[in-house]
Structure 1
Amino acid sequence: MKIKHDFPASSDSETPFIHPERPAARFRPLKALHHFRELIKDKEDTEQVFHIFESLPRPGFRKDARAFVESDKGKALLVSEPNLSGLLDDHERLRRMPEGSLAHAYCDFMEKEGLSAAGLIAEYDRFSPQKYGDLVEWYGFRQRDTHDLLHILTGYGRDALGEACVLAFTYGQNPALANVFIAYAAGLNMKKQVKSKAPIFKAIREAQKMGKACPRINEESITDLLAQPLDALRERLHIKAPHFYHEAHARFRAQEIDPYNMLAQPA
């Protein structure tokens, strides 16, 4: 299948679903374990996450990608949203959207945390400079580029448990083994490092269930989502306040443990 659009890919005006030079995915669990051990040393080391995803490919990914890019909705988004990073980093445009919208919450979050969509892409490019410009890549990049939006939609922070919960939520949406592996392995590491009765695994499981109940965010029009009131959008997407995540934070703080720096503290 080939679709004409403005996604910068092949040398002509058509883009293949899978580039003929794209290598086959390889399942390498021991490599994933090695990179997870590196990740827990520094949760900001995003490159380790990419290695884990490469080592634990999802068998049904290409099937889902094909179904979406061949749908009317997918074809329309190929034209209207060929590249999400330009949209997500245009805070001037996003700030013109209504007050209380996802766009304003997203800008607040990214500016506070010093993050950008381009920064995430730069991290990925250092890990994988080779680009194939096919539709599988376009579909996969939509999953990558909407990660920080999930923090806003779900209410999970950038603390260790919050990141694990976002990955569990993502697994509920797109069941790549890497998502659930990192989420539960991170939970196990938290349990090992910090002696607490905080409901860590309940929080992760709750996030996974919410992700499954929510329509796939990467298959939605991100432009449309950004313009909508955040509270109403969460209700429409079946995203509830994360009860066990907040309970875990409360228990951590009751023990004078900072949830955002918990793995740096002695058990």
Structure 2
Amino acid sequence: MEMPASQNQFTKAASASRADTPVLIPGRPQLRYDWGKAWRHFRQLIRNKEDTTQVFHIFEALPWKGMERAATRFLTRDAGQRLFMAEPFLPELLDDHAMLRRMPAGSLAQVYCDFMEREGLTAQGLVDEFENFWGERPRFDDRFSWYFERIRDTHDLLHVLTGYGRDALGELCVLAFTYSQQPAPAHLFMGYAGGFEIRSRIKSAAPVFRAIREGQKLGKACPRLAEQSVKDLLPLPIEEARRRLNITPARHYNQCHTVWRGMGLDPYGLIAPVAEAA
């Protein structure tokens, strides 16, 4: 169906405006590590693993200092320029479940919708949490901001592709996986500190640290997801999408679940929120 002339002109104007977006506007604050701040917010996160704001604070304290360099390298290549124009805002795509449900049975799109609907999540929900955290701080209308947002907005897609659940260990393994893609110290800090927390609470033969280390290895084998076309991946059978990304089954993570269930423990309840004192 042909677009009305006025709408077509608007689309062309929006595309032209987007094409003029600079790669990196200078003026962002210098990145520094603050381990004390990271530890304080990690303790808050342990009290309630659903409190995503604490994760943002930890990443602010232990950032990926090479992100600007990596983003600039990608965004100045043809592939990066094409992706910037083709996929302006992932949550809009990922939250359109009516459209995603029209993709083939067994596709990444269908499994993603199942996961998000089962967990009661939306891609926009994570954006809203980040916006509340960021507050009134300066914004930069450049391509680097788009690159950063893709890193944020592919988090739940990583859960689906890797098979890691939203249990405590699953989140730690996704963090370890992501460290190999975007090496912020925050990923490993939360991954291994969380592993110690689980081991201290649950004495068992579950290979917790092997599972976290395996997540690192899986992430290293996978091309950086934020730099892949999500539109191209979504219609694929999920196993084909995993093959394209070199993602293989998480053996040690599944072994941990087997051990805990054999002990009568629910892997999804190992680190439950701590009730506040009245």
Q: Which bracket does the TM-score occupy, shorter chain normalised?
A: over 0.9
Measured against aligned partners, the alpha-carbon deviations of 1:22-56 in whole angstroms (never above 9, x if no partner) come to 22222211111111111011000000000011111
User: Structure 1 residue 20: deviation in Å?
Assistant: 3.3
- Report the Cα distance in structure 2 between the residues aligned to 1:180 and 1:72, rounded to whole angstroms: 32
- Report the Cα distance in structure 2 between the residues aligned to 1:28 and 1:64, rounded to whole angstroms: 22
One-letter identity of the residue aligned with 1:111: E
One-letter identity of the residue aligned with 1:173: Q
SS in 1 for 2:91: helix
One-letter identity of the residue aligned with 1:214: C
> Is contact 1:6–1:82 with CA below 8 Å preserved after alignment?
no
Out of 161, 181, 185, the position equivalent to 1:173 is 181
SS in 1 for 2:180: helix
Give the TM-score taking structure 2 as reference length. Answer: 0.89
Out of 22, 42, 46, the position equivalent to 1:36 is 42
- Report the Cα distance in structure 2 between the residues aligned to 1:90 and 1:239, rounded to whole angstroms: 25
Give the TM-score taking structure 1 as reference length. Answer: 0.93
> Is contact 1:146–1:217 with CA below 8 Å preserved after alignment?
yes
**TM superposition outliers: structure 1 runs of 4+ over 4 Å:** none
One-letter identity of the residue aligned with 2:82: A
- Report the Cα distance in structure 1 between the residues aligned to 2:244 and 2:87, rounded to whole angstroms: 22
Matched residue, 1:58: 64
Change in Cα spacing, 1:21 to 1:262, as seen in structure 2 (3 Å) is: same
- Report the Cα distance in structure 2 between the residues aligned to 1:109 and 1:148, rounded to whole angstroms: 9
- Report the Cα distance in structure 2 between the residues aligned to 1:230 and 1:94, rounded to whole angstroms: 13
> Is contact 2:19–2:85 with CA below 8 Å preserved after alignment?
no
Matched residue, 2:28: 22
Measured against aligned partners, the alpha-carbon deviations of 1:82-122 in whole angstroms (never above 9, x if no partner) come to 11110000111111111111000000000010000010000
**Amino-acid identity (%):** 53
**1:203 matched to 2:211:** yes
Aligned residues: 260
Matched residue, 2:167: 159
SS in 2 for 1:260: helix
Matched residue, 2:9: none
**1:225 matched to 2:225:** no
- Report the Cα distance in structure 2 between the residues aligned to 1:104 and 1:86, rounded to whole angstroms: 16
> Is contact 2:48–2:272 with CA below 8 Å preserved after alignment?
no
Higher Rg of the two aligned structures: 2
Matched residue, 1:90: 96
Out of 194, 204, 207, the position equivalent to 2:202 is 194
One-letter identity of the residue aligned with 2:256: A
> Is contact 1:151–1:157 with CA below 8 Å preserved after alignment?
yes
One-letter identity of the residue aligned with 1:220: Q
User: Structure 1 residue 21: deviation in Å?
Assistant: 3.6
Structure 2: segments with no counterpart, 5+ residues: 1-12, 274-278
- Report the Cα distance in structure 2 between the residues aligned to 1:180 and 1:169, rounded to whole angstroms: 9
Single out whichever of 112-121 and 129-138 deviates more from structure 2.
Answer: 129-138
Single out whichever of 24-33 and 76-85 deviates more from structure 2.
Answer: 24-33
**1:182 matched to 2:190:** yes
Out of 73, 86, 98, the position equivalent to 2:79 is 73
Measured against aligned partners, the alpha-carbon deviations of 1:183-217 in whole angstroms (never above 9, x if no partner) come to 11110110111111100000000111000001111
- Report the Cα distance in structure 2 between the residues aligned to 1:70 and 1:87, rounded to whole angstroms: 24
**1:105 matched to 2:117:** no
**1:142 matched to 2:162:** no
- Report the Cα distance in structure 2 between the residues aligned to 1:202 and 1:196, rounded to whole angstroms: 14
Q: CA RMSD of the aligned region, Å?
A: 2.0
> Is contact 1:117–1:145 with CA below 8 Å preserved after alignment?
yes
> Is contact 2:176–2:191 with CA below 8 Å preserved after alignment?
yes
Matched residue, 2:8: none
